[in-house]
Amino acid sequence: MSNSIEVSSRQATGTQASRRMRRQGLVPAILYGHGEKCIDLSTKREAIELMVRHGSRVVELTGAVKTSALVRELQWDTFGVEPIHVDFLRVSASDRIKVKVPIDLKGECPGQRAGGVVSLLMHEIELECEAASIPEKIHALVGKLQLGGIIKVHDLELPKGAKSVAEADETVVTCILPVQKGEEAAPGLGGVEPELIGRKPAEEGEAEAETEA
């Protein structure tokens, strides 16, 4: 889904100027790519939040500039609540680009009914595809996944014309019996905590230092 986002030019840059903008409900942004100069922009926080809810990856910028752009990077505050900076990359619909897309599970797994535990090991996949064909997410279909079975990258259904950057034999999903209490964990896995799925908030103070010049 493509969103239209109105942007304004911004003259003031740096940490203090960006903080003032955020207090006014604005999000600092930058536009670059296609061999053209970088442009410092800003947009309303509500527009970015709407874009996120719609799952938009390619947007139409209006106002100070008029162009199609890929949301290359969106940074959040320390708590992952408010957007604090967005990078836009100029694109045309036919441009082939590399982009990371989330993976989710779809279907009812027969191996799970047999007592197995389904684990999503790869939470996102990097694709090379046309800018106009970026999927919101890739589904790992577990409807035929049996106990002891695995789904690899080459088993995923990708959009027409899209190509995976990841290795074809890389494991995406597994369905195995849970480790019973008292059993030894697999060698080398002791003390490893599961990865938390969600937004990746910027390290405190790091986002502003890296994105605001």
pLDDT digits (tens, 9 = 90+) for 124-161: 999 999 998 899 899 999 999 999 999 999 999 999 99
Q: Which is higher by pLDDT, 13 or 46?
A: 46
pLDDT of residue 13: 87
Mean pLDDT of 118-125: 97
Mean pLDDT of 91-105: 92
pLDDT of residue 182: 61
Q: Which is higher by pLDDT, 28 or 54?
A: 28
Pick the CATH number of 97-176 from 2.60.120.10, 3.40.30.10, 3.40.50.2000, 2.170.120.20: 2.170.120.20
pLDDT of residue 115: 95
pLDDT of residue 55: 84
Report residue 136 as tokens.
């919101």
Pick the CATH number of 3-91 from 3.40.50.300, 2.30.110.10, 1.10.357.10, 2.40.240.10: 2.40.240.10
50 pLDDT more than 90: yes
Burial class (CB in 10 A: 0-12, 13-18, 19+), 31: buried
pLDDT of residue 193: 42
Q: Mean pLDDT, the chain, as a whole number?
A: 86
Tell me the three state secondary structure of residue 164: strand
Mean pLDDT of 14-31: 94
pLDDT digits (tens, 9 = 90+) for 175-207: 999 987 665 545 444 444 444 434 445 544 444
pLDDT tier at 117, thresholds 50, 70, 90: very high
210 pLDDT more than 70: no
Name 163's bridge partners.
128
Same fold, 3-91 and 97-176: no
Mean pLDDT of 109-132: 95
Domain residue spans of the chain: 3-91, 97-176
Widest Cα–Cα separation across the chain: 63
pLDDT of residue 56: 86
CA of 132: how far to CAs of 5, 59, 99, 101, 124, in Å?
Answer: 17, 10, 12, 14, 19
